[in-house]
Structure 1
Amino acid sequence: MPAFPTNFQIQLQELFRLRRDVRRFRPDPVPEDLLTELLEAAHHAPSVGLSQPWRFVRVDDPARRQAVIAEFQRANDAASAVYDSDRARLYRSLKLAGLKEAPVHLLVCVETDPDSGHGLGRQTQPETLRDSAVCAIQNLWLTARAKGVGVGWVSILEPERLREAMDLPATWGWVGYLCIGWPLEEPEIPVLEIAGWDHRNPLAKHLLQR
Structure 2
Amino acid sequence: MSIASIIRGRRSIKNGYKPDAVPEKLILELLNDAVYAPNHGLREPWRFLFIPTEKKEEFIERMMPVYPADQQEKRRALFSEPAAFLIVIMKEDPRQKQWEEDFSATSALIQNFQLLAWEKGLGVVWKTNPHNLDPKAHKVLGVQPGEKIVGFLHLGFFDPDKTPQAAPRTPAEEKFTRFE
Query: If the length of structure 2 is used for normalisation, what is the TM-score?
Result: 0.78
Q: Is the 1:109–1:173 contact (alpha carbons within 8 Å) kept by the matching residues of 2?
A: yes
* Alignment match, 1:131: 104
Instruction: Supply the AA of the counterpart residue of 1:62.
Output: E
* 1:42-96 residue CA offsets vs partner (Å, 9 max, x unmatched): 222221111001110113463433427975x94xx9xxxxxxxxxxxxxxxxxxx
Residues in 2 aligned to 1:187 and 1:46: alpha-carbon distance in whole angstroms: 29
1:13 equivalent to 2:8? Answer: no
Deviates more, 1:153-162 or 1:35-44: 153-162
* Alignment match, 1:196: none
* Alignment match, 1:160: 133
CA 1:30–1:130 in structure 2 vs 1: closer, same or farther (change >3 Å)? same
Task: Give the CA deviation at 1:160.
Answer: 2.6
Structure 2, unaligned runs of 5 or more: none
* Alignment match, 2:37: 45
Residues in 2 aligned to 1:188 and 1:206: alpha-carbon distance in whole angstroms: 26
Regions of 4+ moved over 4 Å: 68-71
Q: How does 1:1-210 map to 2 (within 5 A)?
A: 11-24=2-15, 25-59=17-51, 60=55, 62-66=57-61, 67=63, 71=67, 74=71, 99-113=79-93, 124-161=97-134, 162-185=137-160, 186-187=162-163, 189-190=165-166, 193=167, 199-210=168-179
Task: Give the CA deviation at 1:98.
Answer: 5.8
CA RMSD of aligned residues (A): 3.0
Structure 1, unaligned runs of 5 or more: 1-7, 78-96, 115-121, 194-198
Count of residues in correspondence between the two structures = 167
Residues in 1 aligned to 2:119 and 2:78: alpha-carbon distance in whole angstroms: 20
Residues in 1 aligned to 2:4 and 2:158: alpha-carbon distance in whole angstroms: 21
Q: Is the 1:150–1:180 contact (alpha carbons within 8 Å) kept by the matching residues of 2?
A: yes
Q: Is the 1:22–1:152 contact (alpha carbons within 8 Å) kept by the matching residues of 2?
A: yes
Residues in 2 aligned to 1:26 and 1:70: alpha-carbon distance in whole angstroms: 27
SS of the residue corresponding to residue 208 of structure 1 reads coil
Deviates more, 1:156-165 or 1:146-155: 156-165
Residues in 1 aligned to 2:65 and 2:8: alpha-carbon distance in whole angstroms: 30
SS of the residue corresponding to residue 121 of structure 2 reads coil
Query: If the length of structure 1 is used for normalisation, what is the TM-score?
Result: 0.68
Larger proportion of helix: 2
Residues in 1 aligned to 2:65 and 2:10: alpha-carbon distance in whole angstroms: 24
